[in-house]
Amino acid sequence: MTVQSIQKRFSRIFPLVLVLALTSKAEAQRESIKWISWESAQDLVKKEPKKLIVDLYTDWCGWCKRMDASTFQDPRIVRYVNQNFYAIKFNAEQTQDIIFKNKSYKFIPRGTRGYHELAVEIANGQLSYPTVVFIDEDLNTLQPIPGYWDADDFEMISNYFGGNFYKTTPWSTFQEKFKSSNKK
């Protein structure tokens, strides 16, 4: 094999290798929501107060999976949630006990499934999947928001709570005036 033939082969392969390397680097750098445990969130909120956002889901919930694959992957949502909240992904049917605000919550078996007492507590007794629950810096439930939300709607909802607008502005007024970071 001559030097020229090696150079010729390299010149054909190099662009492909470069594209693959850049693609994998871009994928690796793509941010995602930093989901943490209940225990970690409670420790972190003591050190640096932030609101919590809880994704209340079940393994069998198709709309929960769709929200994970779309809304929670949107760069606007990822950025805003990571900057303004401690995020918890909470399976409402998990069987492990959770201590929250010095109270122990347990799994309650019902039929073939069951539910976690903490899920009922933070969802104000209305279990529905998916539900996103907003919790303030003092660990009090602000609002459970049931249902699937696309990124545009979720951006508005998360800004309403994350920006403390819920304290002074009625939802309808906020909704009319909200400008998405996606719109120019």
CATH of the domain at 61: 3.40.30.10
21 and 86 fall within a common domain? no
Tell me the average pLDDT across 145-159.
97
pLDDT value of residue 27: 45
3-state secondary structure of 1: coil
CA contacts within 13 A on the Cβ side of 1: 6
Average pLDDT score, the chain: 89
Number of domains, the chain: 2
pLDDT value of residue 180: 81
> 20: Cβ–Cβ under 8 A, 6 or more apart, which residues?
none
Structure tokens at 89: 């992904």
23 and 35 fall within a common domain? no
Residue 16 has pLDDT above 70, yes or no: no
11 and 61 fall within a common domain? no
pLDDT value of residue 23: 47
pTM of the shown model: 0.82
Residue 184 lies in a domain: no
pLDDT value of residue 74: 97
84 and 138 fall within a common domain? yes
Residue 182 lies in a domain: no
Per-residue pLDDT reduced to its tens digit, 101-138: 999 999 999 989 999 999 999 999 999 999 999 999 99
53 and 118 fall within a common domain? yes
104 and 36 fall within a common domain? yes
17 and 85 fall within a common domain? no
pLDDT value of residue 182: 72
Structural domain boundaries enclosing 1 = 1-30
